[in-house]
Structure 1
Amino acid sequence: MSGSILARAGLVRMTGRDPHQHHRVASPLELFFDLVFVVAVSQASQNLHHGVVEGHAASATLTYAMVFFALWWAWVNYTWFASAFDTDDWLYRVMTIVQMGGVLILAAGVHDAMVEGRWDTVTWGYVVMRLAMVGQWVRVALSDPSRRRVAIRFAVGISIVQLLWVARIAFPPEVQFWTFWPVMILEFLVPVWAERVQGTPWHPHHVAERYSLFTLIVLGESLLASANAIIDARNAEGHSGDLAVLAIAGVVLAAGMWWTYFSREQGDGLGAGRRAFTFGYAHYFVFAAAGAVSAGIEVELDLITGAAEHLDAGTASLALTIPVAVFLVARWAVLLRGRIPASASALFLAAAALVLACALLPVVTVVGTAVAVVLAVVVLEYRRSRDRLSRP
């Protein structure tokens, strides 16, 4: 299609953006796109919370991981595509809004998936998001002959995997569960296979900023849980002290996790090839763990107020400490490994181990976890101050 025809239609040729563009930041459309994930992540976190307090911690955690994969993977694919090919014309905006609709459909099915094992609504919402992305890749193939091969590979690979997702919902819940994992692996392999022929012109600092913004979204869920503890503390009789401690610890946890995430610049170290895939894929654990921390705080809230009859202190402790520890370890693996001395890495990982050790003493879990996260922050800040002093 010629440039004049595209111009008359109000469209821009999708040929890829400059990966070295100065001052590249997230667009208003990308920020709008992220808003729908607030709803979806909240649904997943709430159902994880309810599953734990109802005595189904293992199954709730597993289904949470599955639902979060669907959310995260759709977000990841849009983010990297937008970094490389965002034209911001009306068609691009419409296709993005279609994907947002898919997120809302998926969010509507989270309860059925996590509680009843019915994945049809989640699947259809996910497929809507992914097929909209197929349309975007087809547009790249038509617009940019130099990147046609990689675009076609993405379009074909994503389409085939979506057929498998849809085929799954025709089977009983048990079959849907076991077939989830191989299809998930195929989703992971599509970008690897597609970009073997050619890379895409994504912007390192823009991608790093987008990941940072999503981190703020999932950490915001923890702040909401802390706010709930503060509200309950004002109205509760006999538990106000414990609830106040929980609220303060929740704020410290969220702040500490934020601090560790933003302690180092990410864009400078985000290179092409294996480094990019490691950064993109390993963030699943960062995001999923951060989203689960809010559920852990809510579980501790129920334990204090006695709202959950069958909840024991050990389970509540693990619900909080495991996601915090996973977040710290994942953060180290993605950002800090190789960028801080071995001694600092050892101390940072020791703080993560201390978080898990707090689960052995449920009486001090909340405070101990917050203290351990503060220690991790101290390690990073001390190392950063030493680095500054050593500069000429």
Structure 2
Amino acid sequence: MTNFLQPPRLRIGEDSEEERHATWLELFYDLVFVVAVSQLAHNLAGDISLSGWFGFVVLFIPIWWSWIGTTLYANRFDSDDTVRRLLVGLHMLTAAAMAINIHHGLGESSPGFAVSYALGRAVLVVEYIRAGIHIPTARPLTTRYATGFAIAASFWLISAFIPVPWRFVLWGLGIIIDFATPLASRKFQIGLLPHASHLPERFGLFTMIVLGEAIIAVVNGVSEQKWDVLTVTSAVFGLIIAFSLWWVYFDNLGGTPIQQARTHGRVGLVNLWLYTHLPLVIGIAAAGVGVEQILLSKPTLVLSDPQRWLICGSVALCLLAIGILHKFGVIRYCKIRSKYRFAGAGVLLLIAIFGKGLLPVFVIALVAVVSSVQVVQDLYQSRPTTRLVDPEI
């Protein structure tokens, strides 16, 4: 372990071109968010109405943004000194406190959730101040980040002492400032771009966390039901959905936006990559709950409207997000794949609208077919003969 007072190290220039992977500390930190995402999924499973979905999204955003904040800091300022380890430990404590307060996060536990999030942002502010002190070239960026995140944290902290509904108004203002801070600092990001191999891996790991919830949903759904042909068939279709989403995301993943930003100054691509992951991971996590709801339903009874909308809408949201990433070249640039993602999302919404009266196994089968078509399309385009004809694929 390095000296206690060793400052953080800035990864720019040649360091940015080196292959870099997640550290053991980062992987350990991710474990807290496995629990948090599981708690969020549990909340949604208990109420899949429109209000339940809204509450799920409201609580998911600060959980995700908390993870994003520490991940982007570690991406730029790499150190494994004692101070950094202790600060990450504090981050883990605040994230664990958020997970504890998720169960009634919009009710009696909302003050605790707000304080936990605010303290997590305060730790991040301390880290950026520390980085700015030791690295003068990064100070314009770290100062703006520390200021914006401190203001947002103040809103969240004050909200804990304000009654509902004004408490949630302050939450909204706080998260808007949090989201706007990187956008308002674009001109200072160009010389301090994220690491081209490390950040895609970190985003992929969080995506893997929410995909894991889909697998857990299949296991939970089957284990709580009496095994029969319809239940097992539905479980297989649920795994196909999860496998298809994994395929179309990870088979196209890369550091393209960071390379484009470094070469052409297109910082907007990095931000688009960042913010489009929010609907993607929300959709994946909700899709896992949707699969579980289908497996827990009566296989011979018509699937309810909320359950049908949950599974179809969630997977549609995933395909829509991936389609946007394709369209703007944030992941593998491909007009055809983008059109297939958008078309798949549209078909799923049609199933949600006109699928009333279908049995659970038929609904999940249709969603699995739409998802697997995306994989088939990618495989078809990946043929050597196709690549020679159209360089855009």
Q: Separation in 2 of the partners of 1:298 and 1:42?
A: 13
Q: Select the residue among 244, 261, 279 that pairs with 1:256.
A: 244
Is contact 1:106–1:121 with CA below 8 Å preserved after alignment?
yes
* Pairing 1:358–2:351 present: yes
Provide the residue aligned with 2:10 in structure 1. 16
Letter aligned with residue 120 of structure 2:
M
Which residue of the other structure, out of 34, 43, 48, is the alignment partner of 2:39? Answer: 43
**Aligned counterpart, 1:4:** none
Tell me the distance in 2 between the aligned counterparts of 1:340 and 1:161. 35
Secondary structure class of the residue paired with 2:197? helix
Instruction: Work out the CA distance in 1 between the residues paired with 2:151 and 2:96.
Output: 23
- How far off its partner does 1:191 sit? 1.6
Determine the structure 2 residue equivalent to 1:297: 291
Segment of structure 1 superposing worse, 167-176 or 222-231:
167-176
1 CA distance for matches of 2:87 and 2:113? 19
Task: Pick closer, same or farther for the CA change 1:303–1:230 going to 2, 3 Å.
Answer: closer
Residue 198 of structure 1, CA deviation: 4.8
The CA deviation string for residues 96-135 of structure 1, in whole angstroms up to 9 with x for no partner, is: 1110111110001111114x36411111221121111111
Could you tell me whether the CA contact under 8 Å between 1:39 and 1:107 is conserved in 2?
yes
CA distance in structure 2 between the aligned counterparts of 1:335 and 1:213, rounded to whole angstroms: 20
Q: After the TM superposition, which residues 319-338 of structure 1 pair with which residues of structure 2 at under 5 Å, given as runs? A: 319-338=310-329
Q: Of 142, 154, 157, which residue of structure 2 is paired with 1:166?
A: 157
Show structure 1 runs of 5+ residues with no match: 1-6
- The residue number in structure 2 matching 1:284 is 278
For the residues of structure 1 that align with 2:365 and 2:124, how far apart are their CA atoms?
A: 44
Counterpart CA distance in 1 for 2:74 and 2:333 is 31
In structure 2, what residue type is equivalent to 1:232? Answer: E
210-219 vs 119-128, greater mean Cα deviation: 119-128
Instruction: Work out the CA distance in 1 between the residues paired with 2:126 and 2:386.
Output: 47
Q: Which moved more, 1:240-249 or 1:347-356?
A: 347-356
1:354–1:369 Cα contact (<8 Å) kept: no
Q: Contact 1:118–1:173 (CA<8 Å) still a contact in 2?
A: no
On the 8 A contact 1:355/1:372 being kept in 2, the answer is yes
Tell me the equivalent position of 2:123. 132
Corresponding residue number in structure 2 for 1:381: 379
Change over 3 Å in CA distance of 1:279–1:387 after alignment to 2: farther
| Residue of structure 2 equivalent to 1:3 | none
1:216 counterpart = 2:204: no
C-alpha distance in 2 between matches for 1:250 and 1:188: 33
Tell me whether 336-345 or 158-167 shows the greater mean CA deviation.
336-345
Q: Could you tell me which residue of structure 1 aligns to residue 365 of structure 2?
A: 367
| Partner residue of 1:97 out of 59, 81, 89 | 89
**Of residues 237, 241, 247 in structure 1, which corresponds to 2:229?**
241
Quote the Cα distance in structure 2 between the aligned partners of 1:312 and 1:229: 15
CA distance in structure 1 between the aligned counterparts of 2:184 and 2:338, rounded to whole angstroms: 33
- Whether 1:348 aligns to 2:341 is yes
Q: Which residue of 2 aligns with 1:28?
A: 24
Query: Matches of 2:89 and 2:338 in 1, distance apart?
Result: 42
**Normalising by the residue count of structure 2, what TM-score does the alignment of the two structures yield?**
0.88
Tell me the SS of whatever aligns to 1:112: coil
Alignment RMSD: 2.3
Name the CA shift for 1:77/1:341 in 2 (closer, same or farther; >3 Å): closer
Rounded to whole Å, the distance in 1 between the matches of 2:59 and 2:33 is 12
- The sequence identity of aligned pairs, in percent, is 27
Q: Per-residue deviation at 1:94?
A: 1.0
Q: What letter corresponds to residue 286 of structure 1 in structure 2?
A: L
Deviations 1:169-192 (A, max 9, x none): 222222223343232211111122
Alignment: residue pair count: 373
Query: Cα distance 1:341–1:84, how it changes in 2: closer, same or farther (>3 A)?
Result: closer
Residues in 1 aligned to 2:296 and 2:162: alpha-carbon distance in whole angstroms: 36
Q: Deviations over 1:227-260 (max 9, x none)?
A: 1233234xx1xx6222112211111011000001
Give the CA deviation at 1:196: 3.3
What does the per-residue CA deviation read over 1:8-62, in whole Å, with 9 as the maximum and x for residues that have no partner?
A: x53322240245242211111111111110000000011011012xxxx111111
Aligned position for 2:308: 317
1:142 maps onto 2:133 in alignment:
yes
Question: 2:70 maps to what in 1?
Answer: 78
* Aligned CA distance change for structure 1 residues 205 and 335 (closer, same or farther; 3 Å): farther
- Return the alpha-carbon distance in structure 2 between the equivalents of residues 27 and 344 of structure 1: 33
Counterpart AA for 2:151: I
3-state SS in 2 of match to 1:26: coil
Instruction: Kindly provide the amino acid, as one letter, of the partner of residue 181 in structure 2.
Output: V
Gaps of at least 5 residues in structure 2 are 262-266
Separation in 1, partners of 2:334, 2:78: 38
